[in-house]
Amino acid sequence: MDEVTRMPLLGDKFPEMEVKTTHGVIKLPDHYKGKWFILFSHPADFTPVCTTEFYAFQKRYDQFRELGVELIGLSIDQTFSHIKWVEWIEEKLGVKIEFPIIADDLGKVASKLGLIHPGKGTNTVRAVFIVDPNGVIRLILYYPQEIGRNMDEILRAVKALQTSDKNGVATPANWPENELIGDKVIIPPASDVKTAKERLEKAKAGEFECYDWWFCYKKL
């Protein structure tokens, strides 16, 4: 019986694969072992929206690296196309793309990661995989070809994931600029009656704040 390949899900290990990139052959996820990395796909080289995205990613590359995050791009173009496009970006736009780009000209990587959606054509959609230092997929975003991504939101998501991991908390909508609790973080809801009562008592003692026992938050 043929093996059925499914799209990776949150909490899955990033699939092991050897990829050809503009920086040489890389084994994923081992190449980034112990680091966070973001793999993002783009529909095609030498296209306007993709060009603006690569420019935007590179302009924030130092911010990603400050968070211990590496970037790696992907499309179903060949290596020589990636190289010429990167040269064009540097020559015309004055920005040197420093991160590698996967040349998936046979579409095997795109197929394995679920990046080609037949309803949106034969090119890869704009996907984002945020992978933690253990090689686990923590966040996945999919955008259609016609919509460029918000790089600041991707940076925000990384910061939120790292904050959650480090402190055992959740982050609210638009964190750190939430309309209700600002830059504070949410304490996981109580899972039993005893803890629920203790939450309100601790809130009265000033350890943290609560709207109710199931909605408590604090300043880090």
Catalytic residue list = 50
Q: Is 188 helix (H, G, I), strand (E, B) or coil?
A: coil
The runs of H, that is alpha helices, within 60-147 are 61-66, 79-93, 108-113
Give the burial class of 170: count Cβ atoms within 10 A of its Cβ; 0-12 exposed, 13-18 middle, 19 or more buried. middle
Quick one: the chain helix, strand, coil %, rounded to 5? 35, 25, 40
Task: Please name the residues in contact with 16: beta carbons below 8 A apart, sequence gap of 6 or more.
Answer: 27, 28, 29, 30
Radius of gyration in angstroms for the set of CA atoms belonging to the chain, rounded to a whole number: 20
Pairwise CA distance, residues 62 & 99, whole Å: 11
Query: 131: part of which helix (H) or strand (E)?
Result: strand 126-131
Pairwise CA distance, residues 207 & 220, whole Å: 12
Q: Please say whether the beta carbons of 187 and 218 come within 8 A.
A: yes
